[in-house]
Amino acid sequence: MPVPRFYCPGPLAAGAAIELPEAIAHHALRVLRLRPDAAIVLFDGTGGEYPARLVPDGGTARAVLGGFDPREAEPPTRITLVQGLPAGDKMDWIVEKAVELGAHRIVPVAARRSVLQLSGRRLDKRVDHWRRVVQAACEQCGRNRLPAVDAPVPLADWLAGAAGPQLLCDPQADAALPATLAAVSPADGLTLLVGPEGGWSGEELELARRHGARPVRLGDRVLRTETAGLALLAAAGALLGWY
**Residues with Cβ within 8 Å of residue 38, at least 6 apart in sequence:** 4, 28, 53, 54
Per residue in 191-235, pLDDT (tens digit) is: 999 999 988 999 999 999 999 999 999 888 889 999 999 999 999
- Give phi and psi for 6, each to the nearest 5: -135, 135
Are 106 and 197 found together in one domain? yes
Are 198 and 86 found together in one domain? yes
Q: What angle do CA 156, 160, 163 make, to 5 degrees?
A: 125
Structural domain including 46 reads: 5-65
How does the average pLDDT of the chain come out, rounded? 92
**Residues with Cβ within 8 Å of residue 70, at least 6 apart in sequence:** 47, 48
Per residue in 49-66, pLDDT (tens digit) is: 999 999 998 878 999 999
- Give phi and psi for 91, each to the nearest 5: -65, -30
State the total domains in the chain: 2
Are 145 and 52 found together in one domain? no
Per residue in 147-202, pLDDT (tens digit) is: 999 999 999 999 998 888 999 999 999 999 998 888 887 777 999 999 999 889 99
What pLDDT was estimated at residue 243? 72
Residue 203 to residue 156: CA distance in whole angstroms: 11
Residue 242 to residue 233: CA distance in whole angstroms: 11
What pLDDT was estimated at residue 11? 87
DSSP-assigned states of every residue in 55-71: EEETTEEEEEE---B--
Q: What percent of the chain has pLDDT over 70?
A: 98
What pLDDT was estimated at residue 56? 92
Question: Are the beta carbons of 189 and 236 closer than 8 angstroms?
Answer: no
Within a domain: residue 74? no
Task: Return the axis-axis angle of helices 225-239 and 90-100, rounded to nearest 10°.
Answer: 10
Within a domain: residue 73? no
Residue 51 to residue 40: CA distance in whole angstroms: 6
State pTM to two decimals: 0.93
With a cut of 90, say whether residue 13 has pLDDT above it. yes
Are 127 and 47 found together in one domain? no
With a cut of 70, say whether residue 118 has pLDDT above it. no
Are 85 and 196 found together in one domain? yes
What pLDDT was estimated at residue 119? 67
Within a domain: residue 98? yes
Are 53 and 95 found together in one domain? no
Angular region, 129: left φ>0, alpha ψ -120 to 50, beta rest: alpha
| Weakest mean pLDDT among 109-118, 127-136, 158-167 | 109-118
